[in-house]
Structure 1
Amino acid sequence: MTGRKSAVGKRRLGQLGEAFAADHLISLGYRIIERNWRCPSGELDLIADEDGVTVFVEVRSRRDTGTFGSPEESVDARKQKKVRETAQYYLYRYRAMERKVRFDVITVLFTTESEFAKLNHLKHAF
């Protein structure tokens, strides 16, 4: 059925992806510190702690349509810079500049019918 709109919109798909990503991290023993943390410089999807390391996680969700490239490719140099700047703001704000940090990317693929298909966790992504 071409032209049929999915029952799940783009925003809701992103929320579902973030929920899957958070559940994945929790299952690995991470502690979720923040979800969708916002400040003047931007937003951080997930902030987690893994054994004393603050992990800033960019989550990308896509339907597996074969168009628009992979979700990993969407975390380009401009997006990485924005996430780094926002993470700096977070660390400064909470006086955590001395903490070890890491930047991960979690991608979540859904079928064209918006059902979960695959999750990929890239540690030390940038």
Structure 2
Amino acid sequence: MRPYQRTAKPDGRRAIGLYGERQAAEYLEDRGYRILDRNWRCRAGELDIVARHESAIVFVEVRTRRAGGRFGTAVESVDGRKRLQVRSIAEVYLSMNKLHGTRLRFDVIAITLRQTETDSEFKVEELRHVEAAF
């Protein structure tokens, strides 16, 4: 008897999210941000991007959506529950990295993607950076 093997299906949402996070990191680096961590995880959840800009530690929540999606804009998806979660995870990050007393900022980068003619690739239609979003 052959052992059960689970085959991983490609997750389109995950691929889109990772693509958006790469675009956001490049955007930030082009503007003088130094990326400290990407996809930093702890029990409470994940921080998409942690960066340093001037004298502040910036926690960046990246939201990526396809153009014409049914669930609202990327910025609208960062609701009160998500803001509390990011703040909570940021506290863990600060504690683990002994960064208490450092100036903080919470930003949102909202990316809208348009599918290209090949249907297997995306192009950034809009990238909106909301500084001090919450």
Distance (Å, rounded) in 2 between the aligned partners of 1:67 and 1:37:
29
The residue number in structure 1 matching 2:60 is 57
**Percent of aligned positions that are identical:** 45
The residue number in structure 1 matching 2:94 is 91
Q: Which one of the candidate residues 96, 105, 109 is aligned to 1:106? A: 109
Which amino acid in the other structure matches residue 119 of structure 1? L
Q: Which stretch of structure 1 is more off in the superposition, 58-67 or 73-82?
A: 58-67
Distance (Å, rounded) in 1 between the aligned partners of 2:62 and 2:51:
13
Distance (Å, rounded) in 1 between the aligned partners of 2:90 and 2:16:
24
CA RMSD across the alignment = 1.4
TM-score, normalisation: structure 2: 0.86
| Per-residue Cα deviation, 1:73-122 (whole angstroms, up to 9, x for no partner) | 10000000000000000001111111000000001100144322110000
| Per-residue Cα deviation, 1:18-49 (whole angstroms, up to 9, x for no partner) | 00100000000000000000011110000000
| Residues 66 and 12 (structure 1), Cα distance of their counterparts in 2 relative to 1, 3 Å cut | closer
Q: Which one of the candidate residues 118, 122, 132 is aligned to 1:124? A: 132
The residue number in structure 2 matching 1:76 is 79
Distance (Å, rounded) in 1 between the aligned partners of 2:63 and 2:69:
15
Distance (Å, rounded) in 2 between the aligned partners of 1:42 and 1:50:
23
Computing the radius of gyration from Cα coordinates, the structure with the larger value is 2
- Secondary structure of the residue aligned to 1:49 is strand
Q: Which runs of 4+ in 1 moved over 6 A?
A: none
| Per-residue Cα deviation, 1:43-73 (whole angstroms, up to 9, x for no partner) | 0000000012000000000001142101101
The residue number in structure 2 matching 1:46 is 49
TM-score, normalisation: structure 1: 0.91
Unaligned runs of 5+ in 2: 1-10, 117-121
Query: How many aligned positions are there?
Result: 120
Higher relative contact order (CA 8 A, sep 6+): 1
Unaligned runs of 5+ in 1: 1-7
Q: Is the 8 A contact 1:65 1:112 kept in 2?
A: no
- Secondary structure of the residue aligned to 2:100 is coil
Which amino acid in the other structure matches residue 100 of structure 1? R
Q: Is the 8 A contact 1:54 1:101 kept in 2?
A: yes
